Amino acid sequence: MGRGDEGTVVIGVTQEPDNLLLAFTPLYASGLVLATLYTRPVQYGDDWRPFPTWVERIPSVSGGDWEVFPDGRMRLTYRIRPGVRWHDGHPLQAYDVEWTWRMWTHPAVKSVVTKSDDVKVAGMHCPDPLTLVVDWSEMTPNANMCHRALPRHLLAEAFDRDPTSLPRLPFARSPVGMGPFRFSRWVPGEFIEVVRMAPPPPPARGRAAERIVFRFYPGPEELVAGWRRGEVDVVSGASMSLDEVLDLEDAFPEFRFVYKPALIVERLDFNCDSPALSDPRARLGLALAVDREELVRQASAGRLQVATSWLPTGHPDHDPVLRALGRDPGRARSLLLEAGWEERSGRLIPAGKSPLRLLTTAGDKLRERLAEGLVSAWREIGVACETGWVPARELFTELLPRRRFEHLAMYSWVMHLHAMGFGAWHSSQVPSPQNAWQGRNYPGWRSAENDALLSRGLRELDDDRRAAVMREQQAVFARDLPCLPLLMRAEVVAHRRGLKGIRPTGMSVGPVTWNAQEWVWSEEPREG
């Protein structure tokens, strides 16, 4: 099984799905399988650009099918492509999307997919089976990414009897989708198999993937053992650390290792309320003490990219405002002194007198190397900093949300492709008792200029005009520097060199199997 036998591709995973009911499972392994069985009406590829799947076009303001009303409401109209069918032969209709939305927003339904955008939908109606009209109660640039479809004709009756029943139905372990592959079988504890729906077009050379097998392993060690035995053709690094993946490159020369920059930025937050760091000159001074290019190169063995803004590289609104931010020890010391720090016997003492302290999570070797590099760079200019290692749960549930870090905190920030920064950077989002600690502006950055730009960006649905606003916002960010973006984390995928077409997206909404219908075994000899 595998290595192209009968067009088969075997993917090794360290999880077994709990179910295959779309949006009712949080597991990565489930997402890998579901991406072959279902498609959204609008999806993103590895270039992070949207494309339509089972709708004829993507609604747009300029095209007239995305209407904005004076009171801020919106209306989007979709036309479903004729001839798209569920795997049981029943036609895909607008009614399926409308029913799925009503099901997800039912109070009794506990979906793992956030309902934050779905609840902004005021209503849906279907003038005919192939036309879907969506009315929004407020503006959001994320509207095209919010809709999914499940087969109403198979699920509605059970849902009407008991809205909580769907995850317990046989459908959850034997689903009917509309994607390029259909569910074939699930052998518990061993594998799930999906097979191609339609005959593939003949490739120029080789054989298209006609069957995908998701083989389960109890953990990374067992997966690597199976990998060594030649049992797998594709391995995702989602369940392995960067160090574990790096150690495997030499062991598997017949595999290609792909490091796709992800929508995840490793960042160093400055507590802007701390006397030592309240002056932007102090924050810039600490940044200029560090050679980020060299820091990232050494920490990641040259595999990861330096971050050049709080928005990840590749985001449509990204502007590399920190690209020229290099190491300048002399200026770093001068800025710290200008910000009120004191010099004593060659050492720089922070304003507020308390020694700097950096909090981060324990157990991540990449993060450990970054912390060591930062502390070393600051030591060279006379700044002492101690590192505090805390459990991830404590950092993310207590220390960050309650802003209980005195000076510095380092962690990864995961974003989606429509991230606008309001929740991360608006002054109203600084966590406090007044907002019940709900904001995510952990550094405590307060800027009226930034607030105005973020508010403008949220109201701007035109892509080019919104990007222009966000470029201004990133320039203000670079000037005040409430946090120092360090590097772009990556999605890592290893695959046999003879298997072509693997294009990881680096996005949680697009697992590596998003384009499995394009995978082809080449006719080149395969090793192993």
Question: Which three-class secondary structure string do you get for 153-218?
Answer: HHHHHHHHHCCCCHHHCHHHHCCCCCCCEEEEEEECCCEEEEEECCCCCCCCCCEECCEEEEEECC
Q: Give the containing element (helix H, strand E) for 321.
A: none
315 near 468, Cβ under 8 Å? no
In which band, very low, low, confident or very high, does the pLDDT at 526 lie, cut at 50, 70 and 90?
A: very low
pLDDT at 242: 85
Q: Which residues contact 174 (CB under 8 A, 6 or more apart)?
A: 20, 183, 186
- According to DSSP, the residues that pair with 499 across neighbouring strands are 521
Q: CA 190, CA 73: separation in Å to the nearest integer?
A: 49
Q: Give me the domains of the chain, ranges plus CATH numbers.
A: 1-38+179-254+497-528 (3.40.190.10), 53-152 (3.90.76.10), 261-489 (3.10.105.10)
pLDDT at 470: 95
pLDDT > 90 fraction of the chain, expressed in percent and rounded:
73
pLDDT in tens, 191-249: 999 999 977 666 556 789 999 999 999 988 899 999 999 999 999 877 677 888 888 99
In which band, very low, low, confident or very high, does the pLDDT at 27 lie, cut at 50, 70 and 90?
A: confident
40 near 100, Cβ under 8 Å? no
Q: How many residues does the chain have?
A: 528
How many other C-beta atoms lie within 10 A of the C-beta of residue 147?
Answer: 22
pLDDT at 525: 41
The candidate with the shortest Cα–Cα distance to 14, out of 227, 331, 264, 229, is: 227
Q: Which residues contact 34 (CB under 8 A, 6 or more apart)?
A: 20, 22, 25, 175, 177
The number of helices, as runs of H, and strands, as runs of E, in the chain is 13, 22
The answer to whether residue 307 scores a pLDDT higher than 60 is yes
313: left (phi over 0), alpha (psi -120 to 50) or beta: beta
Task: Give the chain's mean pLDDT.
Answer: 92
Give me the helix-helix angle, 220-228 and 242-249, nearest 10°. Answer: 10
**How far is CA 451 from each of CA 376, 415, 433, rounded to the nearest angstrom?**
35, 19, 20
According to the per-residue pLDDT averaged within each range, which of 122-136, 137-151, 245-259 is highest? Answer: 122-136
- According to DSSP, the residues that pair with 77 across neighbouring strands are 133
The candidate with the shortest Cα–Cα distance to 409, out of 334, 357, 366, is: 357
The answer to whether residue 25 scores a pLDDT higher than 90 is no
The candidate with the shortest Cα–Cα distance to 116, out of 423, 505, 428, is: 423
Region 272-287: mean pLDDT is: 97
Please state the separation of Cα 148 from the chain's center in Å.
18
pLDDT at 527: 45
pLDDT > 70 fraction of the chain, expressed in percent and rounded:
95
pLDDT at 513: 95
pLDDT in tens, 346-397: 899 998 788 899 999 988 899 999 999 999 999 999 999 999 999 988 998 8
pLDDT in tens, 163-183: 999 999 999 999 999 999 999
Q: CA 402, CA 397: separation in Å to the nearest integer?
A: 8
Q: For 391-519, where are the E strands, in sequence order?
A: 408-414, 483-496, 499-500
Give me 54's structure tokens: 């089972």
Is the Cα dihedral 10, 15, 19, 23 positive or negative? negative
According to the per-residue pLDDT averaged within each range, which of 1-5, 23-27, 105-109, 377-381 is highest? Answer: 377-381
pLDDT at 293: 97
Q: Report which of residues 285 and 507 the model is more confident about.
A: 285
pLDDT at 3: 55
Region 513-527: mean pLDDT is: 80
Region 483-508: mean pLDDT is: 93
The answer to whether residue 417 scores a pLDDT higher than 90 is no
Region 410-433: mean pLDDT is: 88
Per residue in 201-214, is it b (16+ CB within 10 Å) or e — as a string? eebeebbbbbbbbb
pLDDT at 114: 64
Please state the separation of Cα 189 from the chain's center in Å.
29
pLDDT at 244: 84
pLDDT in tens, 64-120: 999 999 998 999 999 999 999 999 999 999 999 999 999 999 999 876 666 667 888
The answer to whether residue 497 scores a pLDDT higher than 70 is yes
Q: Three-state SS for 6?
A: helix
pLDDT at 200: 66
pLDDT at 524: 56
